[in-house]
């Protein structure tokens, strides 16, 4: 894990440019090179002898292309980013050393950023069992102010750098665009480059006046089974790829910067100095404790990449004809080589990641669509069943009406009786002779009674289809009795004759009685047929009533079921509304908690700034106290010295006084001796 955790540092040597050749030719000298390189080290040339040497993971000469640099040092990091690790690549060096060319490149020689973007999408193809969601953002740090390069200039505003409860650093209100191809990502980069600050200096015609960070956020998860429609339950992996193009450190005496350019240079140098101090603090084992990333917006945003959960690649660009600036860059790179990170895959198991939220939303929408489709399908099915039942009811009603109509047609009434026209009478003969001539005395009773009786029997057999008074005429005219008698007719005649001329007078029946009997029998037959038809109709009506009642019960049952389904649907809608209200309340609570947390973060930041200010004031006061103590000690020493000097002076004066006194006494003694 140590080799994987170490920050990789490489050096790229820029070729000599025309400006440096012109400067050497003006002095009538050849271009002097202060550094020489091999595959993994850079050495200083000092009068032909190597005095200083720096070792790195890889050193790229001026002849090697950006593509070679990317394949050797940057591509493994990009591939690991797709696998779930955080990664950062940034170029560091003095102004006009080739940082922007290395990171952005040109059409014929693409830089690290476009190569990395293409490689991300190419690497995704190697993971067919995963699905990815990619977002990009592009920010600029200009004069210690963070701005969004993906919005128009009139919408651009200063952005705040904040920290989540999980210690994740983010830029508030930064635009993040969803991309599905490298073409879309590169289009956003081109838009951002149009909004970036560039300027002209004596050392570079197009000098970067700000730091830029192009960030790709990759969210991935295991793909679900499309055949079964099930979604994978695995955690979502979130990784960040930061591609940083730093502005170069510069000296105002060399760049000729004035006014705005001078201010830009001061802010660039300050942020790079803070970056160097943070890296020095992280690599110096003797300096343990708090590392203040907040001193610069650059170090604050890249906090996770500096000693945190990320793999970092630093590309140091140098100029072989520069001594001091290149030495400073190599010292920075050598210090950064000692920095250690702790990269690991970040898994998100809550709803914080967009991919999971989109996935959950899609699943929820599919579920709601399925419920609506089920209710709609049930309603359609109920309508179809009801329509079919109504059609069957109408069909049964029509069949019963047709059946009643047909039965009614079978009834013979005055309204439906069809008159049969009389056929002209033909001569009625019996045995080839006229009956009235054969039996003139029996025309009124015997023969006529026989004819009426025979006619009634034939008429009764035909169900009384005609009037009784016309029975004989209709019967004979219809059937056409033959002129020659048959054996059957003779038997009938004998039987009738026996019946007509019996021995008892009671056997004799008058024609009026026969007609009355015939009418009564016809009426009885009609009543019998009517009653049988009524019974059949009653049975049919009962059957129809039963079927209609059954259909009504079915319709009522289906209506109740439909009402229950509607009630269930309404209850489901009410539950959905309650769930939506609960979700809204939860979202509102989360937003309130987030606002409180942001407020607390702001207060914490204010307290930290206040603490830093107080600490600085205490340090200043301590320094002042120390200075005062030193001044007091110095004054005391001076006073002591002066006191000593005064003592010495006093002693000398006393000696002089005593000497003078002695001389005076001596003189007095001498004078007294002279006087004596």
- Using CA atoms, how far apart are residues 272 and 329, in angstroms rounded to an integer? 11
Whether residue 239 is annotated as binding a ligand: the answer is no
Whether residue 123 is annotated as binding a ligand: the answer is no
Query: Which residue, 288, 323, 267, is CA-closest to 35?
Result: 323
Specify whether the CB–CB gap between 214 and 113 falls below 8 A: yes
The first and second tokens of residue 651, run together, are 């002693």
Whether residue 584 is annotated as binding a ligand: the answer is no
Backbone angles phi, psi at 84, to 5 degrees: 125, 0
Q: Which residues make Cβ contacts (< 8 Å) with residue 102, sequence separation at least 6?
A: 12, 66, 69, 91, 111, 112, 315, 317
Whether residue 98 is annotated as binding a ligand: the answer is yes
Angle in degrees, CA 203, 206, 212, rounded to 5 = 110
Angle in degrees, CA 21, 23, 29, rounded to 5 = 75
Whether residue 95 is annotated as binding a ligand: the answer is yes
Q: Identify the three-state secondary structure at position 36.
A: strand
- Using CA atoms, how far apart are residues 90 and 12, in angstroms rounded to an integer? 13
Question: Given phi > 0 = left and psi -120 to 50 = alpha, else beta, which region is 508?
Answer: beta
Query: Which residue, 338, 305, 128, is CA-closest to 222?
Result: 128
Whether residue 94 is annotated as binding a ligand: the answer is yes
Which residue intervals of 196-259 are DSSP H helices?
252-255
Sort 258 into a burial class: Cβ within 10 Å, 0-12 / 13-18 / 19+.
Answer: exposed
Angle in degrees, CA 367, 368, 373, rounded to 5 = 100
- Using CA atoms, how far apart are residues 462 and 446, in angstroms rounded to an integer? 24
Whether residue 502 is annotated as binding a ligand: the answer is no
Whether residue 99 is annotated as binding a ligand: the answer is yes
Q: Are strands 58-60 and 236-245 parallel, antiparallel or unpaired?
A: unpaired
Q: Are strands 41-46 and 49-55 parallel, antiparallel or unpaired?
A: antiparallel
- Using CA atoms, how far apart are residues 282 and 339, in angstroms rounded to an integer? 6
Instruction: Please report, in angstroms and rounded to a whole number, the separation of the first and last CA atoms in the chain.
Output: 115
Q: Binding-site residues for ATP, please?
A: 93-100
Q: Binding-site residues, please?
A: 93-100
């Amino acid at each position: 894990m140590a080799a994987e955790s170490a920050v990789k540092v490489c050096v790229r040597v820029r070729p000599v440019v025309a400006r440096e050749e012109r400067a050497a030719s003006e002095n009538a000298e050849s271009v002097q090179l202060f550094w020489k390189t091999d595959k993994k080290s850079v050495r200083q040339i000092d009068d032909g002898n190597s005095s200083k040497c720096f070792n790195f993971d890889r050193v790229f000469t001026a002849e090697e292309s950006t593509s070679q640099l990317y394949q050797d040092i940057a591509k493994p990091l990009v591939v690991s980013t797709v696998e779930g690790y955080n990664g950062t690549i940034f170029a560091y060096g003095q102004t006009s050393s080739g940082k922007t060319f290395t990171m952005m490149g040109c059409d014929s020689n693409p830089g690290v950023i476009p190569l990395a973007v293409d490689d991300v999408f190419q690497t995704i193809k190697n993971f067919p069992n995963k699905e990815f969601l990619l977002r990009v953002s592009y920010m600029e740090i200009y004069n210690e102010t963070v701005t969004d390069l993906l919005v128009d200039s009139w919408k651009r505003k200063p952005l705040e750098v904040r920290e989540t409860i999980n210690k994740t650093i983010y830029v508030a209100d930064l635009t993040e665009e969803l991309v599905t191809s490298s073409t879309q990502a590169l289009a956003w980069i081109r838009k951002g480059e149009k909004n970036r600050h560039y300027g002209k200096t004596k050392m570079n015609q197009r000098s970067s006046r700000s730091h830029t960070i192009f960030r790709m956020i990759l969210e991935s998860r295991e793909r679900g089974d499309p055949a079964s429609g099930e979604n994978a339950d695995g955690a979502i992996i979130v990784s960040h790829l930061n591609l940083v193009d730093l502005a170069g450190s510069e000296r105002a005496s060399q760049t000729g910067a004035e006014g705005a350019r001078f201010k830009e240079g001061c802010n660039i140098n300050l942020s790079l100095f803070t970056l160097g101090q943070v890296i020095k603090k992280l690599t110096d084992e003797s300096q343990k404790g708090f590392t203040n990333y907040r001193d610069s917006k650059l170090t604050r945003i890249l906090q996770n990449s500096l000693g945190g959960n990320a793999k970092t690649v630093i590309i140091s660009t140098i100029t072989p004809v520069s001594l001091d600036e290149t030495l400073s860059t190599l010292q920075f790179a050598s210090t950064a080589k000692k920095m250690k990170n702790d990269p690991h895959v970040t898994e998100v198991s809550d709803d914080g990641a967009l991919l999971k939220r989109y996935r959950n939303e899609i699943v929820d929408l599919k579920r709601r669509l399925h419920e609506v489709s089920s209710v709609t399908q049930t309603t359609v099915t109920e309508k179809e069943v009801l329509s079919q039942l109504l059609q069957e009811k109408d069909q049964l009603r029509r069949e019963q009406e047709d059946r009643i109509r047909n039965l009614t047609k079978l009834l013979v009434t005055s309204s439906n009786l069809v008159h049969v026209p009389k056929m002209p009478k033909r001569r009625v003969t019996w045995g080839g002779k006229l009956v009235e001539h054969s039996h003139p005395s029996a025309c009124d009773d015997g023969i006529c009674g026989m004819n009426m009786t025979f006619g009634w029997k034939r008429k009764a057999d035909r169900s009384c289809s005609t009037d009784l008074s016309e029975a004989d005429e209709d019967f004979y005219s219809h059937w056409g009795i033959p002129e020659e008698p048959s054996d059957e007719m003779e038997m009938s005649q004998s039987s009738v004759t026996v019946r007509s001329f019996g021995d008892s007078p009671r056997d004799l029946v008058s024609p009026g009685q026969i007609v009355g009997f015939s009418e009564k029998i016809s009426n009885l037959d009609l009543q019998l047929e009517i009653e049988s038809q009524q019974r059949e109709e009653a049975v049919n009506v009962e059957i129809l009533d039963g079927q209609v009642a059954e259909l009504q019960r079915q319709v009522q049952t289906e209506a109740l079921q439909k009402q229950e389904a509607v009630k269930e649907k309404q209850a489901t809608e009410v539950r959905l509304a309650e769930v939506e209200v609960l979700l809204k309340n939860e979202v509102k609570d989360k937003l309130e908690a987030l606002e409180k947390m942001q407020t607390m973060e702001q207060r914490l930041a204010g307290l930290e700034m206040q603490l830093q200010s107080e600490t600085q004031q205490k340090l200043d006061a301590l320094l002042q106290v120390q200075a005062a103590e030193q001044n007091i000690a110095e004054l005391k020493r001076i006073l002591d010295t002066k006191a000593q000097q005064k003592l010495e002076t006093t002693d000398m004066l006393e000696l002089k006084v005593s000497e003078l006194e002695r001389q005076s006494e001596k003189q007095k003694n001498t004078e007294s001796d002279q006087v004596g």
